[in-house]
Amino acid sequence: MTIAGMVWRNLFRRRTRTLLTVLGISVGVAAVVALIGFAQGLEKVWQEAYKARGTDLVVTKVTSRSPLPVPFEQRALQEFLDCPSIEASAALLSDMMGVEDSSAVLVFGWEKPSFLWDHLRFLEGRAPESGASREAAIGRIAASSLGKKIGDIIQIEFEEFTVSGIFESPALVENGAIVLPLEQMQAATGREGKVNFLNLRLKDPPTGVAEVKARLEKLHQGFSALDSAEVASRNSGIEIVRAMSWATSLLALFVGMFGVTNTMLMSVFERVKEIGILLAIGWRRARVMGMILLESLLLSLIGGVFGLLIGICIARALETADLLRGRLKADIGPGLFLVAMSLSVALGLLAGVYPAWRASRLQPGDALRSE
Amino acid sequence: MELRGVVKEFDDGRVKALRGLDLTIMGGEPVAIIGPSGCGKSTLLQIIGALDRPTSGEVLFDAQPLQARRNLAAFRAREIGFIFQSFHLIPTLTAAENVEVPMFEIGLSRKARRARAVDLLESVGLGHRLEHLPAQLSGGERQRVAVARSLANTPRLLLADEPTGNLDSASASRIIELLVEIHRLHATTMVIVTHDPRVATRVGRVVHMLDGSIVSDGPIETENRT
């Protein structure tokens, strides 16, 4: 027999209470897995978008942390773009706009011709023509949710466009979006000559990045050049989602932790006499404390494992729900598992400290006399 | 073991359980403590066993005051074996595991703990009940497991609080024989609190208590005359 064996059996004395406590911790861990998974997923879809477009650096207004930064004059950066390290540049204007009955659909205006269009795979039709034809390409998910096919008229704010093609992109965020030629987007939003991102493709990305960043800082103050990971992590929308997800998950975890404390305290009070026996036959206080802490830890570990499974199931179920299908995927991997389990273990130990201390402070004589 | 002027009070002095007790027990001596309920027998046993501290007075073991010992848990683990009236076995552990519990404190390996527990249970006639939980054992069997547990770390002092109090006559006799046998084989010092006259007749010395004081102390013949 080992202490761990003793502890394991103690958990089965009151199965229902143990199960409910484990469930309490599971909810917290599941919240971490699902919510943080989605927050990371959101960051990842934006990173994917930049990677898919073949963008090495994104130039934007330095002060703006919004996912849709303040537009600036495209001509303002002409001098900067005249640089041998830059292979190609593509300007972009994006906004959330009212499309038909949907109040907020992501609409892009992409410079044409530019490398931005290269990664789109047209399932039907073709890319929109520049000029006076007023055409729009729509992503696979947007087409299905708006019920549009080739040749249909689509109303974006107060302007009407003809659907020239339906595309699929390796970036999830683009599959739910509409893409127009840049000048038509500028006209539709009354921002002629303005863009809010400049996508750069470099000749030699590993060495070129620092050089181009330094050049931008020198020539145009108020702008910054970021790589795809930086853009996503500095995105205030993602930051808010991440913060909210952590706040909600931690709250759920703390509730679970207090559940463990409550269970362990009740368990100690119920076993006063038994703990008295252990102390009477010579167990050190530290061993009694360790036993209670181990019970608390074990509850949290089991809760953690269940929480991981429940979190994965919730995330997968939400991914297939109408609201998110094809737009967002939870990014759940070993890193997140480790974080969730570490939190669960740490809170489990914390939850057990007070009950363990109470148990270890019992006087064996008093404990044996107790009824 | 020597007690000098031991006083034990509860409830801020309102209850006086022991009123200045003096008692000396020699190594290897078996002693029975008898007296009516509430006379302080069990309190005395808990103070001898370092489970409780006296309000005043001194308890010496090997001529050393117990209060001066830094680690009373280690002292209890190595020097003292306890047998309680209501057995006090851990309900989730099997008979063998219950016997192993005190051995955690003396650093035996898992295998050695198990082997010793099996030996001890066999010696009390429970070799066939090793894997039974306390709830699956009779009262007499449970008390024999408790006796085996009390011997786990080969203590020099065995303290028994009403060891036959919850047993039928046959089981009680068996436990008494077992204690006598342990004393005969190991010359263990024994202090047995009891109501059972059969226990008292099997030990050499009987201490009679009343209202927290010793009213007589002597060989069984003296006690019988009292």
For residue range A98-139, what is the model confidence (pLDDT) as tens digits?
Answer: 888 877 889 999 998 899 999 999 999 999 988 777 899 999
| pLDDT of amino acid A65 | 61
Residues A180/A185/A188/A191 CA torsion (nearest 10 deg): 180
B92 contacts in chain A (CB < 8 Å): 6, 9-10, 12-13
The pLDDT of residue A292 is above 90:
yes
The predicted complex's ipTM stands at: 0.89
Round to whole Å and give the CA distance between B116 and A112: 86
A370 contacts in chain B (CB < 8 Å): none
A315: distance to nearest CA of chain B, Å? 39
B101 contacts in chain A (CB < 8 Å): 278, 281, 283
Confidence class for position A229, pLDDT limits 50, 70, 90? confident
pLDDT in tens, chain B (226 residues): 899 999 999 888 888 889 989 999 998 889 999 988 888 888 999 999 988 889 999 999 988 898 888 888 888 999 999 998 888 899 999 999 999 999 998 888 999 999 999 999 998 888 999 999 999 999 889 999 999 999 899 899 999 988 888 888 888 888 888 888 888 888 899 999 988 778 888 888 899 999 989 998 887 654 444 3
| pLDDT of amino acid B12 | 86
Please give the model's pTM, rounded to 2 decimal places. Answer: 0.78
**Helix, strand, coil fractions of chain B, as percent rounded to 5:** 40, 25, 35
| pLDDT of amino acid A67 | 66
Closest among A307, A292, A257 to A362, alpha carbons compared: A292
Contact B80, B50 (CB under 8 A): yes
| pLDDT of amino acid B224 | 46
A15-46: per-residue pLDDT in tens?
888 899 899 899 989 999 999 998 888 888 87
A265: distance to nearest CA of chain B, Å? 19
Which one of B8, B88, B98, B130 makes the best mutation probe of the A interface by having the most chain A beta carbons within 10 Å? B88
Quote the mean pLDDT of chain A.
87
Q: Which residue of A has its CA nearest to B53?
A: A365
Q: Do A10 and B92 touch (CB under 8 A)?
A: yes
Q: Do B105 and A283 touch (CB under 8 A)?
A: yes
| pLDDT of amino acid A108 | 94
Round to whole Å and give the CA distance between B118 and B105: 18
- DSSP codes joined into one string, B154-182: --SEEEEESTTTTS-HHHHHHHHHHHHHH
Which residues are CB-contacts of B210 (< 8 A; sequence separation ≥ 6)? B35, B36, B39
| pLDDT of amino acid A133 | 79
Chain A residues near any Cβ of chain B (below 8 Å) = 1-3, 5-6, 9-10, 12-13, 273-274, 277-285, 287, 363-366, 368
Strands A194-195 and B2-10 come out as unpaired
A365 contacts in chain B (CB < 8 Å): 46, 51-52
A166-186: per-residue pLDDT in tens?
999 888 888 889 999 999 999
Contact A330, A37 (CB under 8 A): yes
Q: Which residue of B has its CA nearest to A280?
A: B51
| pLDDT of amino acid B221 | 55
The arithmetic mean of pLDDT across residues A148-165, rounded, is 91
| pLDDT of amino acid B222 | 45
A316-366: per-residue pLDDT in tens?
998 887 766 666 788 898 999 999 999 999 999 999 999 999 999 988 888
| pLDDT of amino acid B182 | 86
